[in-house]
C-alpha cells in the first residue's frame, strides 16, 4: 500500500510540474489518504504483535 501512495505522489508531482492542477491535487489527495491508511495499519499490526507476546523489532 505504501507503494501505491508513493506512485500517486510521483504522479502528483509530475502533473503539478506540467501544470495539470486538478490531476495533481487529486493524486496528492489519494497519496495522502493511502499513506495515512498505511500508517494506521502499521500501528495496528505493531500493537497486535506486542499483544501476542512478541516485542516489536
Q: Which residues of 10-35 are buried (b: 16+ CB within 10 A; e: fewer)?
A: ebbeebeeeeeeeebeebbebbeebb
Predicted pLDDT at 44: 92
Domain that holds residue 8: 2-51
Tell me if 6 is assigned to some domain.
yes
User: What is the total count of domains within the chain?
Assistant: 1
pLDDT of residue 40: 92
What is residue 52's three-state secondary structure? coil
Q: Is 19 part of any domain?
A: yes
Q: Could you tell me if 31 and 8 are in contact, meaning their C-beta atoms sit under 8 angstroms apart?
A: yes
pLDDT per position as a tens digit, 36-50: 998 899 899 888 888
C-alpha cell at 49: 504483535
26 located within any domain: yes
CA 2 to chain centre: 5
Q: Tens place of pLDDT for every residue, the chain, 57 residues? A: 678 777 878 888 888 788 777 877 888 888 888 889 988 998 998 888 888 886 666
Mark out the alpha helices in 1-57 (DSSP H runs).
2-18, 21-51
Q: What is the pTM of this model?
A: 0.63
For residue 56, tell me if it sits in a domain.
no
Amino acid at each position: 500500500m505504501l507503494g501505491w501512495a508513493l506512485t500517486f505522489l510521483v504522479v502528483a508531482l509530475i502533473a503539478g510540474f506540467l501544470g495539470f492542477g486538478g490531476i495533481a491535487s487529486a493524486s496528492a489527495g489519494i497519496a495522502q489518504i493511502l499513506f495515512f491508511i498505511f500508517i494506521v495499519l502499521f500501528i495496528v499490526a505493531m500493537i497486535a504483535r506486542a499483544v501476542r507476546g512478541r516485542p516489536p523489532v
